[in-house]
Amino acid sequence: MSAHTEAAAITPDTAPAAGNRRKMVGRVIRDKMDKTVVVEVVSHTRDPLYGKYVRTRARYKAHDETNQYMIGDEVEIQEHRPLSREKRFAVVRLIKKFVQE
């Protein structure tokens, strides 16, 4: 091997990110499935004609390897390769734990 090819070798630690993956913040609304949570992402968009802010929501199934996230937790999800028929996201981190009073 020449010095040029050794310098160009990519290890898993230094591998570039796989493109621009969407990240969203949402709330866990269902956790009954094994290693899967349903996350509801709420966004507010401005109506182009009337200027009124319209609330839209989308629900995504996200992978939760350790079953640690519960209903009410606020989490960040990121796009992932397809893990099942409907699951295309993975939970990246916990933002806020739900505290029941």
Average pLDDT over residues 49-53: 97
* pLDDT for the residue numbered 2: 52
What is the CATH number that goes with domain 20-96? 2.40.50.140
Average pLDDT over residues 35-52: 97
The answer on pLDDT for 10 being more than 50 is: no
Residue type, 72: G
C-alpha to C-alpha distance for 31 and 27, rounded to whole angstroms:
11
Is residue 89 packed enough to be buried (19+ CB in 10 Å), middle (13-18) or exposed (0-12)?
buried
Write down the domain spans for the chain: 20-96
* pLDDT for the residue numbered 12: 42
Neighbours of 39 (CB within 10 A): 26
Average pLDDT over residues 69-74: 96
